[in-house]
Chain A
Amino acid sequence: MTTAPEGFEPVTTATGISASAWLLIALPLAGAIILLLGGRRLDKVGHWLGCATVVVAFVIGVMTFMQVHGLADDARVMDSTLYSWIPVGSLQVDFGLRIDPLSLTFVLLITGVGSLIHIYSIGYMSHDPDRRKFFAYLNLFVAAMLLLVLGNSFVTLYFGWEGVGLASYLLIGWYTDRPSAATAAKKAFIMNRVGDVGLSLAIFLMFKEMGTTSFTGVFDRIGDLAQTSPGSVTTIALLLLLGACGKSGQFPLQAWLPDAMEGPTPVSALIHAATMVTAGVYLIARSSPIFDLTADGRLVVAIIGALTLLIGCVAGCAKDDIKKVLAYSTVSQIGYMFLAVGLGAGVYALGIMHLLAHGFFKAGLFLGAGSIMHAMNDDVDMRRFGGLARRMPITFVTMACGYLAIIGFPFFSGWFTKDPIIEAAFAAGGTKGALLGGAALLGAGLTAFYMTRLMIMTFFGDARWKELKSTDGRDYHPHEASSVMTIPMIVLAVGSVGAGWFLSSHERLAEWLTPSVGTFVEPDPAIGKTVITIATLVLMVLGVLVAYLAVGRRPVPVRAPEHVNPVIRFARADVGGNALNETLIARPGTWLGRTLVFTDVKGVDGAVNGIAATLGGLSGRWRRWQNGFVRSYALSMLAGTLVLTLALVLVRFA
């Protein structure tokens, strides 16, 4: 038992089912290993095994949740140390798990949504001969993500961090016959890496300043560090933010997320909507003691959140690829979460709440998009869809639930989770509050616009696909998906509808998370909550209306118009994200590489080869002294004698 910092509960050792929390990680990991090593023999049962591990993990998670829920409020934070992992001199890192409300929330999200998506994948990947390997990678991902959220030190978290990065790379590049998929996987991994550097630097700094990297150790001593050197606390916070930006696809590292749609749709749903991209939010929420102590750090987080929010919205408005629109939507919604956790002490819970709701409705939207792709010969261009509502009713209804949730329609999930964030933004006060709040409001309107545009282009209007053929020459025959795919979608739709109300009523989630992130402080904006609510509603309606006017009334052209105004062109070009990366990083990097190659070839190789050539040349010249004539050799001997005699005479007589 250690004394907890102010506002936090003491940490106890895990007992009961919580002591078996390691099973949560071990089961999917074992599943991954068995499926990978088993080979073709397991092709028939691979997918069932893959699902089984995650479902069992979900069951264990629920049981652990029940146990912790039954404990008293101040006994809910538990540590379970497994073994001594890195004992090196003064660096003592134990491999242990932290079972507390925050990690359990994430465990439930990961395993719950994960199981649904595993079941969905049975149907979606049924035509793929490597389905077993797909499930192995999915299991690997789940294991790594669980390790990330369950670890009790920053190093263990980093282990899981790297693991999800690896799994993301493997899964984005799943279609090995597409070079674009390989490039996208590389891009994702490299941009993640940039963020990972930030995280590792933060860990190094923690170790240097405080001599420990475990959560308890760091959170105990961070208070003292803030007294002696507030600058290093801010540095640690900003480095952690860099890591979170990399993993969650926030500005400036957001360019990889839309490209990651090259992977199969279940991957997009699980990794790039519900779980991996939320790891950044988890990191910041977990490091709440650190962020509580640095106002500058929080401000930067909030600004990044607001900026990314707008970038995501603007870019999503101009895309025709259904998955890319949803990807930018994810970027934008995570911006909301970052904004929430950046707004400071007391409102972390809002970010987590939106995260949970987002997990439901975004996963549902992605699964629906996957179902549409399945029906339309794997085509993603919305301009070739149209009028699918009647053909695919279940998909339509589930996607509609998600749509209403995301735009913040009253009494759906988004209403309960997004509005408080906007209120909290305005409650920050002053110009800061006004700007952040205004950005959040604007984002709400734009969200409504692009989501409505998506729905109209896909489900309503003329059935443009009737006159078209897909890229591989076949006709379109849209049909509803099989039940193994539709059942998870229905479950997620239910969550999209009800999760928001469930989590926010009686401040259930906020109270549940108090031992982990601190007491929840209800935001109190100066201009009043009703004003904000009305403003949000107005903007939402405005967005829907504009979308209807732009897309719903006239027939949608199958080819994207080329002469568009500069704003649309800017939005189509990913809001300058790729251009920025290209100029700032890619070109200097290539130039540096070329310079180094030049130096190596001319300089290093030149020096080495030059020495060899010099030796060769010298020896080529000097070997002519050996001319074979005895008399010249005798001359050399006499010269040597002369030198010896000279030395003798000098030494003796000089």
Chain B
Amino acid sequence: MTPTHYLVLSALLFGIGAVGVLVRRNAIVVFMCVELMLNAVNLSLVTFSRMHGNLDGVIMAFFVMVVAAAEVVVGLAIIMSIFRSRRSSSVDDANLLKF
């Protein structure tokens, strides 16, 4: 397939992830949508790497994965500690920064 197909797919996945971040209220599900966006970007990186014929994209995707792992670890720990003190994991609960 031409790279365009993969890139279009990657864009679609990214968009779906973005919409998911905006629409879902459970903090963990929002986090998962962010993971989806990262994965979409990974796909585009690999496609570009293949397109250009060098490994830079693959390596970058690799690093993205590692960093995403670290991020997930810390993020979930945060969500858990929030949940412990509030008994609710809804994103809408943090709404004090308003007029």
Contact = CB atoms under 8 A, between A and B. Distances in A.
Q: Within 8 Å by CB, do A and B touch in the complex?
A: yes
Interface of A: 623-624, 626-631, 634-635, 638
10 contacts: A624-B99, A626-B97, A626-B98, A628-B96, A629-B92, A630-B91, A630-B94, A631-B21, A634-B21, A638-B18
Contacts of A631: 21-23, 25, 91-92
Nearest to A634: B22
Interface of B: 18, 21-23, 25, 91-92, 94-99
A638 B16 CA distance: 12
Nearest to A632: B22
A630 B34 CA distance: 15
Contacts, number: 30
A628 B95 contact: yes
Contacts of B22: 631, 634-635, 638
Contacts of A624: 99
Most buried by B among A624, A630, A634, A635: A630
A626 B96 CA distance: 10
A631 B98 CA distance: 13
A638 B34 CA distance: 13
Contacts of B25: 631
B21 A627 contact: no
Contacts of A629: 92, 95
Contacts of A634: 21-22
Contacts of B99: 623-624, 626-627
Majority SS at the chain A contact face: helix
A163 B21 CA distance: 85
A629 B96 CA distance: 8
B84 to A, nearest CB: 20
B82 to A, nearest CB: 13
Contact of A627 (B18, B23, B91, B98): B98
Contacts of A635: 22
B10 to A, nearest CB: 15
A148 to B, nearest CB: 71
Nearest to A641: B18
A377 to B, nearest CB: 78
A627 B96 CA distance: 8
Contacts of B97: 626, 628
Contacts of A623: 99
B8 to A, nearest CB: 15
Given A629-B92, A634-B21, 9 more contacts: A624-B99, A626-B97, A626-B99, A628-B98, A630-B91, A630-B95, A631-B23, A634-B22, A638-B18
A623 B99 CA distance: 6
A629 B30 CA distance: 14
A246 B13 CA distance: 94
A623 B98 CA distance: 9
A615 B69 CA distance: 48
B92 to A, nearest CB: 6
A634 B25 CA distance: 12
Nearest to B92: A629
Nearest to B96: A628
Counting chain A CB atoms within 10 Å of each CB, the highest count among B91, B92, B99 belongs to B99
Contacts of B21: 631, 634
